[in-house]
Amino acid sequence: MDAPSTKRGSSLATRILLGLVVGAVVGIALNLLYAPAFGAAKSGAYVEIEWWADKIVKPIGDLFLRLLFMVVVPIVFSSLYLGVAGLGSVGKVGSLGRQTLQWFLATTALAASMGLLLVAVIRPAQHVSPAVAATVQQQYLGQAQAKIAALAEQPKSWMEMVVEIVPDNVVGAAADNKRLLGLIFFALILGAASTRLPTDRSRALRELLETIYDLSVKVLGWAMELAPLGVACLIFHSSAKLGLDVMRLVGWYFVTAMGGLVLYQVVVVTGLAWVFAGLSPTRFYRGCRTLMLTAFSTSSSSATMPTTIRTAVEEFGVPKEIAGFVMPLGATMNMNGTALFEGVSVLFLAQVAGIDLGLGQQLLVVGLAVLTAIGAAGVPGGSLPLIAVVLTQVGVPPEMLALILGVDRLVDMTRTIPNVTSDLVCSLWLSRREGHVLRG
């Protein structure tokens, strides 16, 4: 695959950033001018703004997201199959898989622990009065109950989650972005099986999937040309309806969650890139600007995954077989930002509810955050139903989830960045261990 023009990549990142800024500024300005105070009736002007945001602007942003999701399945299947087949032996697949899983578990546990530590030190619940908590909770109770109801669609135990990984219908798994683990498992098994066949027997399938992969990357490039407009629309919709009054009411939670995610990205992910990949912060962030902006605006690891692969291969020189192996797994299983968010949210809501979690319960939260982050769908808001699972396990009423729903969208956008950049660093580390020279 040819290396891209740096100038073109820089131009795309600049245009996406411009779209993000314009959408956010216009949305926030309209919210400040016309949004009613929390709990008050909506003015006619704000009702009209909401109509435009929901019926005109959001569909344009959703169209951009659908273009990205459209190539997820072909890229996941083809890249994983080609990645595993390209490794040459089942033993090498096992070794790479073991190291990848170790990275996922270690960084996710670190992120969840960091979230708990931040809440223990800052204690944001002290700044939320019971009256405010009750008011906000009542406002979003219906949404919270909908999220809790979604638990019926989630695996009930760890063993059931393991069973769900093996699809009983590969076509069904491919048709549902929330069941990508099944498609991933099938691609891994098929790729491993191809290493045991003579080369001439699997050549036709390999050439077909290489063509599908290249075509999908081309379509992705076309979709990314629409990214500035799509990003502007997605950000406008979120900021125009964000509810700045709600943000102020739960401001300390918002600051703790956002601050923790930024701190994890700037300190931990940057440090991992420096130590394990040998990349300076300047070089690392210069190469993944477009990736981070895409992750922030889409709030989806799955939608961003094709861009993550392209960034690893074209910007940093990661071999396609390694990028194709790590990124699909990471988009489903490696959720550092989500684990940190779960740690912050669970301990904050426990504090609001007046429930003191001991060390053992906090360790349970870390473990559950790791497991549920692996099971979370890589789509906007995909982790919220699973937070209700963790809340229930530590004795916190799951309805408390309503308290943080008003500001979740912006936190969701931010937590997607460490999710995808951790995948990227993992692929850089594995490439370096395999003796490949990265582009400095």
Higher-scoring residue by pLDDT: 320, 37: 320
What is the mean pLDDT of the segment spanning 199-228?
Answer: 89
Q: Which of 231, 238, 232, 297 is nearest to 28 (CA)?
A: 238
What is the mean pLDDT of the segment spanning 414-440?
Answer: 90
The whole-model pTM stands at 0.81
Residue 253 is predicted with a pLDDT of: 86
Residue 292 is predicted with a pLDDT of: 94
The answer to whether 412 touches 299, Cβ cutoff 8 Å, is yes
What is the mean pLDDT of the segment spanning 353-382?
Answer: 73
Q: Which of 39, 12, 65, 14 is nearest to 238 (CA)?
A: 65
Q: Is 330 helix (H, G, I), strand (E, B) or coil?
A: helix
Residue 54 is predicted with a pLDDT of: 87
Query: How far, in Å, CA of 159 to CA of 157, rounded?
Result: 5
What is the mean pLDDT of the segment spanning 232-253?
Answer: 76
Largest CA distance in the chain: 71
Q: Which of 79, 67, 69 is nearest to 328 (CA)?
A: 79
Terminal CA-to-CA distance of the chain, rounded, Å?
A: 18
Cβ neighbours for 167, distance < 8 A, ≥ 6 positions apart? 173, 179, 182, 183, 185, 186
Residue 268 is predicted with a pLDDT of: 96
Q: Is the pLDDT of residue 156 over 70?
A: no
Residue 1 is predicted with a pLDDT of: 39
Higher-scoring residue by pLDDT: 292, 178: 292
What is the mean pLDDT of the segment spanning 88-113?
Answer: 86
Percent of the chain with pLDDT over 70: 83
The answer to whether 182 touches 170, Cβ cutoff 8 Å, is yes
Backbone angles phi, psi at 358, to 5 degrees: -75, 180
Cβ neighbours for 129, distance < 8 A, ≥ 6 positions apart? none
Higher-scoring residue by pLDDT: 49, 162: 49
The two tokens of residue 199 are: 């080369």
Predicted confidence (pLDDT) per residue in 1-21, tens digit: 344 444 444 578 788 889 888
Q: Is the pLDDT of residue 363 over 60?
A: yes
Predicted confidence (pLDDT) per residue in 300-321, tens digit: 888 898 899 999 999 999 998 8
What are the residue ranges of helices labelled H in 241-335?
Answer: 244-249, 251-263, 270-277, 281-287, 289-298, 301-310, 316, 320-333
Q: Is the pLDDT of residue 349 over 50?
A: yes
What are the residue ranges of helices labelled H in 299-335?
Answer: 301-310, 316, 320-333
Topology of domain 6-433, CATH: Proton glutamate symport protein (1.10.3860)
What is the mean pLDDT of the segment spanning 318-347?
Answer: 89
Residue 7 is predicted with a pLDDT of: 46
The answer to whether 68 touches 231, Cβ cutoff 8 Å, is no
- When the pLDDT of each residue in the chain is averaged and rounded to a whole number, the result is 82
Quick count: other Cβ atoms within 10 Å of Cβ 224? 21
The two tokens of residue 206 are: 């390999």
Least confident piece of the model among 35-44, 150-159, 201-210, 390-399 = 150-159
Percent of the chain with pLDDT over 90: 26
Tell me the CA distances in angstroms from 261 to 38, 119, 249, 253, one per residue in order: 27, 13, 20, 12
Predicted confidence (pLDDT) per residue in 101-153, tens digit: 899 999 999 999 999 999 999 988 887 777 767 766 666 666 666 666 655 55
Q: Is the pLDDT of residue 386 over 50?
A: yes
Q: Which of 293, 415, 411, 373 is nearest to 106 (CA)?
A: 373
What is the mean pLDDT of the segment spanning 173-200?
Answer: 81
Report domain extents, the chain.
6-433
Higher-scoring residue by pLDDT: 143, 427: 427
Which of the residue ranges 155-159, 180-184, 341-345, 384-388 has the most confident prediction, judged by mean pLDDT? 341-345
Residue 272 is predicted with a pLDDT of: 97
